[in-house]
Amino acid sequence: MHERHGIGKKTHRLKPKVQAFKLLKVFLLYLSMHNTALGRDAAMSVYTDLSLQEMQDFSEQFDFGGLKSFQGVEAGVENTTYFVSFNQAETVLQIFEEQGFDEVPFFIELNRRLSKDQVPVATPFANKFGDRLFTIKGKPAALFERVRGSTVCPISADACRQIGEALGKIHAVTQTYQDLRRENHRWSNWWESNVDRVIDLTPKDHRTTLKDQVDRSREFVESTASLPQGIIHGDLFCDNALFHNGQLAGIIDFYNACDGCLLFDLAITINDWCSLPTGRLFAETTAALVDGYNRFRPLTTEEIARWPLASETAALRFWMLRLVALARRREGGPQAPPHVKDPNDFLNILIARRADPQCDLISG
């Protein structure tokens, strides 16, 4: 029952005869004239529309046996994302709506090197001429391998161990990527300058928590100069990791990656993967994630000592991110986000860490 049925058991490379090829061209032209491109998705998050003709033109520079199908993806909230199937490769096309030609090469090169260094990420593909950065309708674009897998649910200790290992690997191997640099745009300057904008959106009895935490986190930020630095993912939440048959298949969405404090990146990751709905850390998953991490980059004694403030600061960072999104929604305009996740998820985590940072789970 589980075998493949019917015609077309194998994929074949398109070998158009001249006559048929002319027909194809006319058909494509017809489609684009009538604006009914097969494969264009009407989802809100496809910002840059591509017709079949345009996708066909783009795809011809790749040696993947010809275009098979494509579809716009809803998941991307900042960039335009298409799943593009070639006869010999499954790919993801990213058209960058926010970042410019000066920034995108960082993401492409980071993924390329990580992939080469055996970290499970989406490899960026080169065209026939060796290029990996493309221009589509005046915007930068890249074509990545499509990672096969799905998010893990519910979160297991084994998944956390694998995530810890992958993050440890990322932090270890990127130490050699000395020429890859990107500034952290959402560090203390960013959240400090946004406190007044969001203060009335925070629960009344936690406005002092916000202000006090900003002070505490300033102390942490100033201390990070003496902590290990490198390239951080910045957003390794559980919806950015795809698993296949129980194995981590790929970490995606490096668009928040930048230079930063490695312990802060670990804290961001642990806060999402290992927090219970109360905000407290769950012992088994936290220990597994830290164990996995230590295999590739052992935490230093100083880092372990800085865990409480790192963890609070990571919670503050995402509390502020959601509060600012709420503020942007209130302010309106074309860039106002239609939906904002509940900021209180991170307030709960912050309160729990301030009450008890559970250091024993980090020190092992």
Structure tokens, 85 = 């199937």
Query: Of the listed pieces 109-117, 155-163, 228-236, 316-324, which binds a second copy according to CB under 8 A?
Result: 155-163
Rounded to whole angstroms, the Cα distance separating 133 from 229 reads 28
233 binds a second copy (CB under 8 A): no
Query: Which structure tokens are listed for 238?
Result: 């559980």
Which among 40, 38, 64, 65 is positioned nearest to 50, based on CA atoms? 40
At residue 257's C-alpha, the angle toward residues 251 and 263, to 5°, is 90
Of the candidate spans 43-51, 207-215, 256-264, 303-311, the one that interacts with a second copy by CB under 8 A turns out to be: 43-51
For position 41 contacting a second copy by CB under 8 A, the verdict is: yes
Of 157-176, binders to a second copy (CB under 8 A) are 157
What's the CA gap between 357 and 287, in Å, rounded?
Answer: 14
- Region binding a second copy by CB under 8 A among candidate stretches 81-89, 218-226, 252-260, 319-327: 81-89
Can residue 42 be called a binding residue for a second copy (CB under 8 A)? yes
Is residue 156 within the footprint of a second copy (CB under 8 A)?
yes
Residue 30 interacting with a second copy (CB under 8 A)? yes
How far apart are the C-alpha atoms of 183 and 356, rounded to whole Å? 32
Give kind and range of the element (H or E) at residue 27. helix 18-34
Q: Which residue in the set 40, 112, 322, 353 belongs to the binding site for a second copy (CB under 8 A)? A: 40
Can residue 155 be called a binding residue for a second copy (CB under 8 A)? yes
To the nearest whole angstrom, how small is the minimum distance from the Cβ of residue 324 to a second copy? 16
Question: Is 68 a residue that touches a second copy (CB under 8 A)?
Answer: yes
Helix crossing, 188-198 with 301-331: angle to 10°? 40
Alpha carbons 188 and 94: distance in angstroms, whole number: 29
Q: What is the DSSP letter of 298?
A: P
Cα separations in angstroms, 270 against 50, 164, 252, 336, 349:
39, 9, 17, 29, 11
Comparing CB distances to a second copy, the nearer of 45 and 184 is: 45
User: Which residues, 258 to 277, sit near a second copy by CB under 8 A?
Assistant: 272-273, 275-277
* 210 vs 288, beta carbon nearer a second copy: 288
| Segment lying near a second copy (by CB under 8 A), choices 69-77, 107-115, 248-256, 312-320 | 69-77
C-alpha to C-alpha distance for 251 and 228, rounded to whole angstroms:
22
How many Å apart are CA 215 and CA 212, to the nearest integer?
5
Minimum distance from residue 350 beta carbon to a second copy (Å): 16
Establish if 177 lies at the interface with a second copy (CB under 8 A). no
Minimum CB–partner distance for residue 146 and a second copy (Å): 10
Task: Return the residues of window 87-126 that contact a second copy according to CB under 8 A.
Answer: 87, 97-98
